[in-house]
Amino acid sequence: MAGIVKPPPDERRILIVGLGLIGGSLAAALRAAGFGADKEGAAGFRGTILACDPDADEIVRGIEMGLIDNGDTRLEALVEGASLVVLAVPVLAMESVMVQLAGVIDRAAPDVVVTDVGSTKAAIREAAVAAFGRMPTNLVLGHPIAGSEKSGVAAADAGLYARHKVILTPEPDTDPAAMARVRALWEASGAEVLEMDVARHDQVLARTSHLPHLLAFSLVDTLARQDERLEIFRYAAGGFRDFTRIAGSDPVMWRDIFVANRDAVLAALDDFEAGVARLRRAVERGDGDAMLATFDRASHARHYFESLLNQTSYQAEYQMQQHGKLRYRVSPGGGVTGRIRVPGDKSISHRSIMLGALADGVTEVKGFLEGEDSLATLQAFREMGVAIEGPHQGRVTVHGVGMHGLKPPAGPLYVGNAGTAMRLFAGLLAGQAFDTELTGDASLTKRPMGRVADPLRAMGAEIDTAEGGRPPLHIHGGKALKGITYNMPMASAQVKSCLLLAGLYAEGETRVREPAPTRDHTERMLQGFGYTVHREGDTCWLQGGGRLSAAPIDVPSDISSATFFLVAAAITPGSDLVLEHVGINPTRIGVINILQLMGADLRLENEHEVGGEPVADLHIRHAPLTGIDIPVEQVPLAIDEFPALFIAAANAEGVTRLRGAEELRVKESDRLQAMANGLATLGVEHVLLEDGIDIVGRPEEEGGEGARYAGGNIDSLGDHRIAMAFAIAALRAGGEIVIDDCANVATSFPGFIDLARRVGLTLEEQQEAS
């Protein structure tokens, strides 16, 4: 886990060439991890740290600080027996140092490994080839992404690399054992080690590090040469100081970097200058929409990507490696009472942004779900040139660009954990004139996308997938699409919606027949945006070539999110709960029908329609539940709600049988298996089948009190619905339920913990140990 110092590397003698800030901080970090002698030279510590530096005073200072055991200004005097050599010299000095090292490397240990810390890798690779005649297999090029405006060994900081990244750029024939030893070196300093090829590293760093430094140097230099420079600097605000802080960095070092990485820096500068030119034109014309698009896109990109990289709500698999997994600890018992409103419907939130972006005019959205999945959709459209204001307390304003107004994104579109977004985007992007790549987190890359890619190919789209038809998806634009008639092999609103969105761009008619009813949010919203969609029986169709007109959207509360609280109230004695403004689309009310069939005291109140979608307040009180055979026709209407319904079944008297639900095996996890594993942990009797499950509930004790099953430790497998289902199960558990791997709850239900506590659950969240 990044930031947690691992044991010291298993090296006999580490030689650091260049005892400045970077080399000195590495020595300090190794000392802190227990490598080598301490400041008093106490015995019992393994390993020796030596340093070579042209400044003899730096060597003396490093010894006095206890960072190194010995040092010299001559490389040949130190290389004897070295097992690991770290080259921490300026980029332009690297070749001469490598030439010296090549002449004496035979004096080092037979298994010596060499690495470096330079911030440009192509130039250093060229230097290595020039010095050694080839790229040695025991040379591992690396770059710690850390630094300071200070310099010299006196500025050494043992924590400089903690929670920072170190990028290694191995060659195809780099020795894996050498890689492992360099990785161990940096992990001992608390860094997170990543791998990247040389060219990609130089491109990325040119944009994220080199270009900002270049701009800071230029801005400060420009202002410092103006007549009123004293006034400018006297009244500079914090933002100016923050941005220009890096202009205080070592000028010689940065000159070397810009020389060494010239081509990548110039390419980054070209892109930046083009962006500034666009913004200048907008300012000259007084084009407020263009300025807003740029500012809003930048503002939200900054917040969005910062949250992705630093918070557990993003890309859970990545974050789990960084900061540890998130755990829920839920005490047994509790009550469920009150009035709450759960967040907006995720499916409708996705579609409101997609159709609003493609519409002519401005679409105002209320009730937008500010969860990670929906925010990923927002960000994707910003990256395709759509000006979007918000979200602010569920309000989003989308400045539509029309059916053909999207622009090519600069890179892959990342949709996080959102299978809905990826499948709908596939259809929408198949009709664009430009190429796109759709990617997501580790969970999403395991989910099948052939179910949308295959029919899109039949329409004329060109789509590449990873092995097994899984993400990422590479969509080649500019293809002429033709409408098809498609009989879906499985009931899937995502597949249906994907094909309808592609059909907007197709010649002729696109018809989709579904084997069972699925949610119809796409059809309803298309109608709301003025696009005619026909339906007859099990088939819906539309004609390509039309246009969308902006329309207001009021997103109902998500019935999938409401389900956890419906079940919580249904199973808990004394409960009385109202869930406000919940969407009750006929294609989504399977959970309501199933709970009522089981005997739940569930009533719909204040029914009305908002933006073409029916909504109601759901009022539920506790009542004894009875096991049922879940009607097959209800399965597709409740496919996302079954994890919570399994908890209802565990609290019902008798057997609840589910069949025809094999779709549950290809969600964020294999939900049938994950729920069966959790039920087994709690001691709930069940029989798992390929397409369903039988769950045996115990008779409720007289008076309705008491536990229905045990507590235990549950692995949610990173699936938000599994995590939330077992959280509410604690209401009738005999002991505490601890649920691991809960970071992804924020993808669909931000605020779940607060609402759970408000209605009566005792739930704590904590970081799991690595």
Query: Which positions make up the binding site for phosphoenolpyruvate?
Result: 346, 419, 447, 494, 671, 721
Report the distance separating Cα 290 and Cα 288, nearest Å.
Answer: 5
Locus of tokens 């015995």? 43
Active site includes 435?
Answer: no
Q: Using CB atoms within 10 Å of the CB of residue 238, give its burial: 0 to 12 exposed, 13 to 18 middle, 19+ buried.
A: exposed
CA 8, 9, 15, 18 dihedral sign is negative
Report the distance separating Cα 432 and Cα 384, nearest Å.
Answer: 11
Report the distance separating Cα 122 and Cα 260, nearest Å.
Answer: 8
Single out the residue of 339, 316, 341, 358 nearest to residue 394, CA to CA.
Answer: 341
Strand partners, 549: 360
DSSP code for 516: S
Element (H, E) at 95: helix 94-104
| Residues that constitute the known binding site for 3-phosphoshikimate | 346-347, 351, 492, 494, 640, 667
Q: Answer for the pair 596, 630: CB distance below 8 angstroms, yes or no.
A: no
Q: Lay out the sheet containing 395-399: strands in order across.
A: 387-392, 395-399, 362-366, 553-554
CB atoms within 10 A of CB 397: 17
Active-site choice (617, 640, 719, 741): 640
Q: Lay out the sheet containing 685-688: strands in order across.
A: 654-658, 693-697, 685-688
Single out the residue of 539, 588, 543, 530 nearest to residue 563, CA to CA.
Answer: 588
Q: Answer for the pair 255, 249: CB distance below 8 angstroms, yes or no.
A: no
Query: What does the buried/exposed string (b/e) look like for 179-188 if buried means 16 or more CB atoms within 10 Å of the residue's CB?
Result: bebbbbbbbb
**Tokens read off for 78:** 């130190």
DSSP code for 129: H
Residue 249 φ then ψ, to 5°: -70, 170
Crossing angle for the helix pair 559-571 and 720-729, nearest 10 degrees? Answer: 20
Residues 6 or more apart whose CB falls under 8 angstroms from that of 567 comprise 595, 644, 645, 647, 648, 725, 728
Output the CA–CA distances (angstroms, integers) from residue 662 to 417, 469, 490, 635, 670, in the order listed.
20, 18, 10, 10, 9
DSSP code for 210: I
DSSP codes, 371-413: SHHHHHHHHHHHHTT-EEEEEETTEEEEE---TT-----SSPE
C-alpha distance across the termini of the chain, in Å? 6
Active site residues: 640
